[in-house]
Structure formats: structure tokens, C-alpha cells
Chains A and B, each alone.
Chain A
Amino acid sequence: MADLKQLVLGRRDIVDDSDAEHELPHEFMTVNMGPSHPAMHGTVRIVLTVDGEKIVSGDVQPGYLHRCFEKESEHATYTQIFPYTDRLNYVSPMINNVGFAMAVEKLLGLTGKLPERAEWVRVIVSEVSRITDHLTCVGASAMELGAFTPFLYFLKAREWLYGLLEKVSGARLTHSYVRIGGVNKDLPEGWLAELEFNLDKLEREVMVECEAMLNNNKIFRDRMAGVGAMTRQEALASGCTGPIARAAGVDYDVRKDYPYSVYPELDFDVPVGTTGDCFDRYLVRIEEMKQSIRILRQCIARIPEGPVVIADPRVALPPKRDAYNTIESMIRHFKHIVDGIRVPPGETYSFVEGGNGELGFFILSDGTGRPYKLYCRSPSFVHLSTASSLITGHLIADVVPIFGMINMIGGECDK
């Protein structure tokens, strides 16, 4: 009897055909991905050279959200720069606020002299921001890979946390809450209990369910595992930090390696991956959220009472009541607002662990109330520079998880 396939298909099995002999003529094609592409989040363009579906080279072009942050900062007083820093990494603005304030405090010689409660409040808002950052990154990436439910759950949880930060600062997204020498105002009454309640809810309702939906989801894992892998050496040589470097096995977390604020007193672990692919980056972020929750629980239990801003009249604004009632305080208030905080001449580089990695500020002061030069070392920019080599050799569809897990935040990358 004749071969079944021969009988039905009229030819032998397709496997028997040698692809090499039947290769179709092809040429490279140039495809513009972005800037107006849903997976590019509207702020970056990749000029892809593709061979069919395979990426031969990709030229990543940032800059669509460039807002002249550094130039504007040179013309603003130190206090006026806080709103600009909010717009750097706009899913975790509190960490940017803290990072910038710490750099200025280092120049002023105030590091370690802040009221204790101010340091704890800064750590609390930073860790809440870190959770919102990771929730957004993981949620959006899952959604781009077709898992819409975790996205909605994560964003729901993010809204709880944004609500809490809004109660603290008055703004949902652009908080401008931190001040040089402390924070703007104390936490509202009952806020810590509410935070505790929301953390429980986040852990019980959102994390457990979303992990159940994603961790062993075949589609999710197939799209993430083995995609966009980076070795430890590559991660170091390209300057990667944060979850991307840790997924590749670089045990580096500013909170542990160069401890600042009250982090040395807190008990937490730094997750480190092995394969350095997108799935490890996802796992690192999930674990970091759990560690942040752990940090926050310790903070809630241990935060001391006291003032939240330093009493030093050189940096702190006088209380509103005094500013309206005494001439000395009014003059001080006026000098603060018009001249800015006088920072002694000098330069410094200060860095914190941002949502994406080492977020640093290099400030050169000439002794006036405005920085002579301010440079922001944005982790997103450094990470995005590796994107071109990560996507080369992969399929166009793989750009989406790779780009999602790099977690490029336009405001921070483009400055």
C-alpha cells in the first residue's frame, strides 16, 4: 500500500523536503517599532532590521520624552527640583525624591543627622514606591503577553498604594513629599494601620492569585524563559544594576552594599537569579515585592515618634504659623523661597536603590541656592542601552517581553 501521506497529500511528508533546497529568496527588511507602538509605551523607537521574523539588528532610539531635566535643574532652587524628580521614574517618585534629597544633604553635611522618624518615614514611602514600581512592571508585561487578569489585579493593588501615598502627600502620582532635611509633613493619623491592612490584602488577595496565574502558566513561561538572557559579566560590564543585574547573578543592592538611612537595621534578603533571562527578572521582582512588604512590616512595628524634619534653620522652612506671625520667620521663609537653600561649594555623587537599580545624583554646587550642575544617573537609560544586543537573534515577538522586563521608564530614561 502506498504511503498514507503520499496518498492524501499527493506528495511525501513535508519533513522529507530539504528546506535548504527550497529556500525562498529573501532580503533584510527595516521595520520601525515605535514610538507609537503599544509595547513601546509611546516613548522609544526601535529601528529593526529583520530577516523574516528574526531580528538581525536593532537600533534603539530614546529621547522622545526628553524634558531637559538637567538644564532646568541648573536654573531652579534645590527645593524647586523636587517636582522635576517626581517626573523621572513616575511609577516610584518617592524614591527619586529621597535620592535627590540625600545627595543635597551629603553636600550640606547633614547625612546621618536627620531626625530618626524622618528616616523611617522615607524608608516606608520608598518601599511602598518600590512595590508600585514592580507591580506596574510585572503587570504591564503580563498584559502584553496576553495575561490581562494579573494586570488588572496588580493595578488594583497599585491604586490602594497610590491612595495611601496620596493621603501622605496630597498627590496621587507626583508626590514632591520629601524635603531637604526630612519630609514635608508627618504621616496622617491611622495611616500605618491602613498600610498594614493594605499590605495584608496585597499579599493575600493579589500576590497569591497572580502568582498562581503566572508562575506556571505555560504561555507566560514559554515567552519569558530563555528570552533575552544576559550573563553576569555582561551585566557588570554594561553597568546594569537592580533587578536586571540581580537576575543575572550580580549580588548587588545599594541597600545592602552601600547601606543608607535605616536599612542596616532592617532584616531583608536580596533575591539573586541564575539564568539572567526574562523569567528570572520576573521572579526577582516578585520576590523583591515580598521583601519590601517584610521591610514595611518591620517599619510599622519599629517607627519611633518625633519630628519629621530637621530643626536646622538653614534648610528647614519655618512653620507656617511662625512665618505669618513673626518677622524673623517671614524673612527666613522669603529667603528660602527666593534664594533657595545655600549649599556649600563642592561636588558629590549620591545614590540609592531605585525601582530599577542604582539611581544616582551627581551634584556640583557653587555655593548658591541653585546647583551649578546636576547629573542624574538613571538606571533605565543604562539598561535600555543593552536592549539592542538582547533582542538581536530573537524574534520580533520577543521584543515585547524583553522590553517589558527591562522596564524602561520614559521619564527616567530620557530625563
Chain B
Amino acid sequence: MSQKVLDALLAKHGGAVVHTESVHGDEVAWIARDHLLAVATWLRDEPTMAFDSPVFVTCIDRLDWRPVGLPPSAAWTEERPRFEVCYQLRSSTHRHRVRLKIAVTEKDPHLPSLTGLWSGFNWQERETFDMYGIRFEGHPDLRRIYLYEEFVGYPLRKDYPKDKRQPLVRRDDLPVNPIRKS
């Protein structure tokens, strides 16, 4: 549908794009983490791209990834980055969409925040931080959104057991509900 977005992206930022693919009509571009901000800024400001609206942010945890029916090489191994952060963008003028994917390792799960480019990513990045523990560098207000500050662990990670319970113990040393002074 919008293969031309990927072509233009490869032509302009060939060094930043790790690899591109089209799955079920969705265009996906894997971007190197260090180039994410430059690529995203270009996607927003370039008139032929004009990605003016954010759609969603989420993360994929590949820890248990052993797909049925694919060769064993497709399974996740220790060497591969464990997390994939997905940004979906939409253009209201050209009606095309693209999904940016950034591989993030378990040891150092951080990447630059895109909240400065699209304000709509603010809460969604907080949600991804809350659920997966991905740190978005430069986010104006990165704290948990659904859960409380005292919560230990990141519940949507594959190594967090579904039936795990934990008591809510109030702690005074955490920044509970800080109110922004403006």
C-alpha cells in the first residue's frame, strides 16, 4: 500500500534503516536506535511523508519467541535484542502509515523519546515504560501510568508470571503523584 514510504526512507536514510519488510499490508522499517530522532523528524517534516499523527507505541518481548511452523533459526536467542519497540505513524494528507521498529537490548532498555515530535506519544510511552520497563530518554514525565509507583517489576514482560501477586506497601521515598508546578 505504501511501499513508496519505505523506498523514500531507504533512499534518504539508508544508513539508519536496518531492514524493511511488508507484513499483511503493513509497512515496517527497522531503524537503528541512534538515528531514530533524525528519521522521525524527517518523516514528520518532509512534505511527501507528512506523518502528522501518532497511532500507537508498544513493545514486543521476544523472550519466549518460538514460532510454530517456522525454522528454529526464527526463534529468539540470547544474542538477539530482547525487546522491539514499535511506533506506528499515520499521515492525514497522504493516508499512508508506517511502523518503525527499534531493537532494544535487555541490559540497556532505552531509546530516545518521540514525545517532542508528536505529543500523543506522551502517555503511550509512559504505558510502554510501565508495562515493559523501556526507558524513553528525554520524555518530559516518565512515570508509571496504570500502576502505582511502588509496583515492582514490569507486568507485560514474558518473565513476569501472570498469576503473581504483590502487596501494595506504601513507600514515602518514591515520588508519589508529583504535581507539576507551572
Contacts and interface: CB of A to CB of B under 8 A. Distances in A.
Contact of B179 (A30, A63, A367, A385): A30
A368 B155 CA distance: 22
B174 interface: no
Given A59-B179, A345-B67, A345-B69, A375 B58 contact: yes
Contact of B52 (A72, A237, A257, A382): A237
Nearest to B144: A63
Interface in A1-58: 28, 30, 47, 49, 56-57
A236 B119 CA distance: 9
Interface in B130-171: 131, 145-148, 155-156, 162
A107 interface: yes
B109 interface: no
B56 A377 contact: yes
A49 B179 contact: yes
Contacts of B68: 342, 345, 366-368
A344 B65 CA distance: 14
Contacts of B53: 236-237, 239
B82 interface: no
Contact of A344 (B66, B69, B74, B88): B69
Contacts of B55: 239, 349, 358, 360, 377
B177 interface: yes
B60 interface: yes
B76 to A, nearest CB: 10
Contacts of A233: 52
A237 B60 contact: no
A360 B56 CA distance: 9
Interface in B7-33: 23-26
Contact of B156 (A70, A106, A344): A70
Contacts of A372: 64-65
A71 B146 CA distance: 14
The SS class assigned to the A binding surface is mixed
A47 B67 contact: no
Contact of A71 (B124, B162, B179, B180): B162
Contacts of B113: none
Given A66-B147, A237-B119, A366-B65, A72 B60 contact: no
B65 to A, nearest CB: 7
Given A49-B181, A59-B177, A362-B58, A349 B88 contact: yes
B70 A62 contact: no
Q: For chain B, give the interface size range.
A: 35 or more
Nearest to A372: B65
A323 B149 CA distance: 51
Interface string A248-263: 0010100001100000
Nearest to B99: A349
B61 interface: yes
A276 to B, nearest CB: 15
Contacts, number: 128
A81 interface: no
A28 B182 CA distance: 11
A149 interface: no
Contacts of A71: 155-156, 162
A238 B55 CA distance: 9
Interface string B116-129: 00111111100100
Contact of B146 (A63, A237, A258): A63
Contacts of B26: 347-349
Given A236-B52, A385-B122, A362 B181 contact: no
A364 interface: yes
B54 A239 contact: yes
B24 A346 contact: yes
A381 B131 CA distance: 15
B69 A362 contact: no
A382 B178 CA distance: 21
A102 B23 CA distance: 16
Nearest to A377: B56
A394 to B, nearest CB: 14
B92 A364 contact: no
B24 A57 contact: no
B95 interface: yes
B90 to A, nearest CB: 8
Given A63-B145, A345-B67, A236 B92 contact: yes
Contacts of B58: 362, 373, 375
Interface of A: 28, 30, 47, 49, 56-57, 59, 61-63, 66, 68, 70-72, 74-75, 106-107, 233-234, 236-240, 250, 252, 257-258, 342, 344-349, 358, 360, 362, 364, 366-368, 372-373, 375, 377, 381-382, 384-385, 392, 414-415
Given A71-B155, A237-B52, A344-B69, 13 more contacts: A30-B179, A47-B177, A68-B155, A238-B119, A239-B55, A240-B120, A364-B60, A367-B69, A367-B70, A372-B65, A375-B58, A384-B123, A385-B120
16 contacts: A49-B181, A57-B179, A57-B180, A59-B178, A59-B180, A68-B155, A237-B118, A344-B69, A345-B74, A346-B23, A346-B24, A362-B58, A364-B60, A366-B66, A373-B60, A375-B56
Q: Nearest 9 pairs between A and B by C-beta?
A: A239-B120, A367-B68, A385-B123, A63-B146, A345-B67, A238-B120, A348-B24, A375-B58, A377-B56
